[in-house]
Structure 1
Amino acid sequence: MPRRADVERRNRWVDALINTLAVPQRVDLARVRDTFCDTTCAVAHKGASLYRDDNHLSDLGARRLIERVLAPVLLQRLAEAGR
């Protein structure tokens, strides 16, 4: 499994770019890395790959991201909007 520090180092430039673009637009960022990494980053779950290549999630990885990050955020936003 890749170490989180190595993944962060590899993605430093894109993280900086995303942060630069998001701040003036008041965009909430979902940190995908937090879903898959603690000190190491999971690349598989129960023998099934979470990625289809070195940067793109597989269907399983995408479902995991939706369940753990996107669904809770969307539910919170709907609650805040009174729906």
Structure 2
Amino acid sequence: MTLDAGANLTLMAGGHHLVINAAGIFCSTPIQLGGVPIPGIPDLVEPLIALAPAPQIEALRAAARGAKPICPVCEKMPSIQA
């Protein structure tokens, strides 16, 4: 991402602002080196696994095991007999 600004660049979000100019970086709140962890949502792995369509996955695996390799470029070439 490229942001092009004149003498300074001001970013505003969530009621706070960040100003970047030749004099330095200024913020409406103290800048924490390394950042600050923000609250998030917990991992919901189990419900997602329950939604996985197991019969479809097994059908695709079975089809892949029995399939022959396909080369679209080779199929378009005329067959050459030696």
Q: Is the TM-score greater than 0.5?
A: no
Greater share of residues in strand: 2
Q: Which has the higher contact order (CA 8 A, sep 6+)?
A: 1
Q: TM-score range by the shorter chain?
A: under 0.3
Of Structure 1 and Structure 2, the greater helix share is in 1
TM-score (ref. length: structure 2): 0.22
From the CA coordinates, give the structure whose radius of gyration is larger.
2
